[in-house]
Structure 1
Amino acid sequence: MLKRIHVAAGALALLTLLSFWTSSVWVECFQDEASVAAVKGTIVKGLFVLVPAMAAAGITGASLSKGRGGMLVARKTRRMRILAAIGALLMIPAALFLNSKATAGEMDGLFYLVQALELTAGALQIRFMILNVRDGLRMSGHLGGGLNHD
């Protein structure tokens, strides 16, 4: 049961991150400022899905890895710590800031600087989540390699 919760939480977190990232890029490239503001507001609301999903994935992953060693466990743990730090220190504050600026119609240089940082950090988070999925599949034997292989 714990493994299913881990997989579901991780998948939900990854899909939520992907939807935030792609909707931000799409709206910036192809839509008007009102649409940008709407997406930024939706992303802030979506944090109430993303944050618990990331926490659940991290907590269940830590529980599942108790008593296990190896490079895959160490890499997944290190990535989750980085993901959490990026989320708490950059992504959540950036989402709130961008929503505030977009709602006020202040899409200026600072808005786009923070947007660029957020998109870059978001791409890194997505990459790390995908790598964690790959390593989780290897650990479970569903993908080639084993606990200590790359």
Structure 2
Amino acid sequence: MLKLLHPVAGSLAFVMISTFWISTALSELFASTAVVTVVKTAIPWGFLVLIPAMIGVGISGFRLAKGRGGAMIARKRKRMPVIAANGLLILAPAALFLADKAGAGAFDTAFYTVQAVELVAGAVNICLMGLNMRDGLRLRQRRRASI
């Protein structure tokens, strides 16, 4: 079960964060403030899917790696606290702040400053999660090759 849960939850979380990032970037660059408002106020609702997916990938990853070593597992273990801290301390509060500001129509300096921080932090998480997915696929290939 863990062997299925881990890649599904990880892929779902990766797609969710990527969707948040892309929809934000496209709406900010090419759409009206009404569209930006819809995007920014919808993102916190996505937490209802993202947070359980992140919990699932974290728990399943730790259980799958229990008793195993190696450089790739060590790298994945180092990235996970950064991904989690970035999400909990920067991305989630920023998303809630931006949803509130957008809902109030307050597209001011604070909005755009936090938006810039959120885009950078989101890009970092996308990159780190992508690296974890790459290493996970490599671990799976090695495991299949040794069977």
Q: Same fold (TM over 0.5)?
A: yes
2: distance between equivalents of 1:92 and 1:101?
14
2: distance between equivalents of 1:136 and 1:96?
31
2:80 is aligned to 80
1:1-150 equivalence runs, <5 A: 1-141=1-141
- Give the secondary structure class of the aligned counterpart of 2:69: coil
Q: Deviations over 1:53-74 (max 9, x none)?
A: 1111011000000000111111
1: distance between equivalents of 2:41 and 2:103?
8
TM-score using structure 2 length: 0.95
Q: How many residues align?
A: 144
Structure ranking higher in helix proportion:
2
Which structure 1 residue ranges, 5 or more long, are not aligned?
Answer: none
Which structure 2 residue ranges, 5 or more long, are not aligned?
Answer: none
- Give the secondary structure class of the aligned counterpart of 1:34: helix
Change (3 A) 1:22 1:101: same
Q: How many angstroms does 1:41 deviate by? A: 1.2
The CA RMSD measured in Å over matched residues stands at 1.4
TM-score using structure 1 length: 0.93
Percent identity of paired positions between Structure 1 and Structure 2 = 50
Following TM superposition, the consecutive aligned residue runs of length 4 or more in structure 1 with deviations greater than 6 angstroms are none
